[in-house]
Amino acid sequence: MNLAFLQDFAPLGVLLLGAVACLGVEAGLYGSRGDRGSLSRWIALAFTGLAFLAAVGFWRSSLGPAPPDVEHGSFLVDRFALFFYAAAPAAAAAILLTGSDLEEQLDPHQPLYHALVLVSTSGVMLTASGADLLTLLVGLATVSLPLVLGSALRKVDPGTVRSAARSLVITGALLATFVAGEAILAGLGHATQLSRLDALPPSPLLGLAALLIAVGVAGSLGAFPLTWWRVRATAAVPLGPALAGLALGALGGAAALLRLLPGALGAALPGWNVAIAVVAALTILIAPALAWRQRSLLAAVGYLFVGDAALVLVGLTWSGRPATAAVLYLVLGLVPVVTASLGLLGTLELSGAGDGIAQLRGLASRSPLHAGLLALLLSAVVGLPPLTGFFARLMVVESSLQAGLGWLAVVVVLGAILSAAVALRWILALLDPQAEGQPLELPSRATLIGLGLSVAALAGFTVTLGPLMGIAARAALAPLAGP
C-alpha cells in the first residue's frame, strides 16, 4: 500500500500529533503534576516549529512558474494554502509564548488548552486548503469551536460558565449563518466545489449569500452587528483562549473569505461587494467610536482590533491579486499585534496593575518597559506610520478605490483617524508624569520572549514589506480570478 500521499498532510498531521502529545500530558501519562503546563507548552511549541518548517519546505518545492499543486479530493495544497500553513504555526507559537502568563487562569488544564490551540491551528490549515464548501465549513468549525471550549476551562463562578456558554451559542449561530450562505451558493451553482461556482452571474441572491458568509465569518471577529458581543466575550472569558481565538480566527476567517469571495465568486464581484462594503464601513466606524468610550484598555484594544479586522472585508471588495495580497499582509501584521497587546494587558491584569485608565495613568514612570511596549502596540493596532498597519491600510484603501468604492476609502480614513485618537489618548495617559504608583514586576521569561518576537515581527514586516508582498502575491496567484 502506497502511503506516500501522507506526506502532503505533514504540517496538518504534525499539529494533530502535537495535540495528542499535549493530551497525553493532560492525562498524566508523563510529566509531574507541577510542571505539566510548562512541559506541554514546550511540546506544543516544538510541534508548531516542525509544522512551520514543513510548510516552508512545501513552499520551496513549489517555487516554479507553475507550482505542482497537491489535490486530494476537496483538500488542496497550493501556494495560497501554504501561506497559511506557515502563518498559522507562527501565530500559534506567538499565542503560546505571549499568553503563557495567562495560562494560570486555566490551571490545571493548560495541556488541554495547548492541545486545543494546536487543533485550532490545524483548522486554519484545513480552511486554507478547502476546495469546496463543506471543507471550508469543517475548517472554520475546527478553528473556532476548540477555543470556545477552551474558554470554558475556567469555571470559577456561574458568570464564567454563562460567558462560555454564550460564546458557544453565538459561535454556533455564526457557523449556521455561514452554512446558510453556503447553502444558497450550492443551490445557485448546483455544486459544492469552489471551482464550479466561478460562473455564477451577479444576482440579489448571490449578494445575500455573500453577505451571510461575510457576517458568519467576520462576525466572530466582531464585524457589525456583533461588535459589542465580541469585545464583551473577550473580556468575560479567560484571556488565553480569547487571544488565541482572535488571532487564529483572523487567519482562518481571512482564508475562508478569500477562497470563497474573490476566489470563487470573483467574476460576480459587482453582485456582492457593496453589501460587504457596507458591513465593513459600519464596523470601521462603530468600533473606534466604542473604543473611545472605554475606560478599560483591554476593551479599547478589543474594539480597535475589531476595526482592524473589518479592513479584511474592505480588501475583499476587489478581486484583483494585489487586493488579496494586501489582505494577506494585513492579517499577517494583525497576528503579532493582537497576541502581544492582549498578552501584555493580561499580564498586567494578573499582576494586579489592572487595565483601567486610572490604574494605567503614569505607567511610564513606574514601568517604562510595560508603558513603552503598550505605546508601541497601540500605535501598531491603529496603524500609525511606519508600522505594518499603516501600509496595510494604505493598500486596502487602494483596493477599495480600484473597486470604485471611493466612499469606503473615505470611511477607512475616518476610521483610522478615530482609532489614532483613541490610541493617542491612552498613550498620553500612560505617559502622564504626574501620576504615581508602585513599580511593576516583569512578565515571565516565556512571555518576554513572545513579546520580543512579536515586536521584532512588527519591525520585520515593515522592513520586508516588498518581499512579503511578493510572497503574498504569489500566494494569491493560484486560486484567484481577476487581474
Binding residues vs other proteins (CB under 8 A): 322, 325-326, 364, 368, 372, 379, 384-386, 390-391, 394-395, 397-399, 401-402, 413, 417, 420, 424, 428, 431-434, 465-466, 469-470, 473
- By CB atoms closer than 10 A (0-12, 13-18, 19+), residue 358 is exposed
Nearer to other proteins, 263 or 322 (CB): 322
Query: Residue 298 Cβ, how far from other proteins at the closest point, in Å?
Result: 23
Q: 187 in the Ramachandran plot: left (φ > 0), alpha (ψ -120 to 50) or beta? A: alpha
Q: How far is the CB of 465 from other proteins (least distance, A)?
A: 5
DSSP 260: I
Specify which residues 71 forms β-bridges with.
76
Q: Quick one: 220 or 319, whose CB is closer to other proteins? A: 319
Nearer to other proteins, 238 or 307 (CB): 307
Q: Which is nearer to other proteins, 205 or 435 (CB)?
A: 435
Residue among 298, 433, 331 at smallest CA distance from 83: 331
To other proteins, the closest distance from the beta carbon of 251 in angstroms equals 22
- Nearest approach, Cβ of 68 to other proteins (angstroms)? 23
Q: Which is nearer to other proteins, 131 or 291 (CB)?
A: 291
- Closer CB to other proteins, residue 158 or residue 433? 433
Q: Say how many CA atoms lie within 13 Å of 127 toward its Cβ.
A: 30
Q: Which residues contact 201 (CB under 8 A, 6 or more apart)?
A: 268, 271
Q: Confirm if 195 and 187 have CB atoms less than 8 A apart.
A: no
At 67 the three-state DSSP class reads coil
C-beta of 425: minimal distance to other proteins in Å?
Answer: 9
Query: Minimum CB separation from other proteins for residue 213, in Å?
Result: 26
Distance CA 286, CA 117 (A): 30
State the nearest-atom distance from the C-beta of 372 to other proteins, in Å: 8
CA 401/CA 263 separation, integer angstroms: 19
Alpha-carbon span 272 to 135, nearest angstrom: 22
By C-beta, is 108 or 406 nearer to other proteins?
Answer: 406
Question: Based on CB atoms, which residue is closest to other proteins, 126 or 430?
Answer: 430
Taking the least distance from each CB to other proteins, the nearer of 151 and 462 is 462
d(CA 482, CA 320): 5
Pairing state between β 75-77 and 70-72: antiparallel
Cβ distance to other proteins smaller for residue 82 or 395: 395
State the sign of the Cα–Cα–Cα–Cα dihedral 468, 470, 471, 475: positive
CA 221 – CA 283 distance, rounded (Å): 11
CB of 441 to other proteins, least distance (A): 18
Smallest separation (angstroms) from other proteins to the CB of 371: 10
State the minimum distance, in angstroms, from the CB of residue 475 to other proteins.
12
In the block, cell 444576482 appears at 203
How far apart CA 64 and CA 350 sit, in angstroms, is 50
d(CA 407, CA 341) in angstroms, rounded, equals 31
CA trace torsion 292, 293, 298, 303 (10° rounding):
-60
SS3 225: coil
Q: How far is the CB of 301 from other proteins (least distance, A)?
A: 18
Distance from C-alpha of 345 to C-alpha of 239, rounded to nearest angstrom: 9
Nearest-angstrom CA–CA distance, 352 and 205:
52
Judged by CB, which is closer to other proteins: 128, or 384? Answer: 384
Query: CA 323, 223, 302, 385: dihedral to nearest 10 degrees?
Result: 30
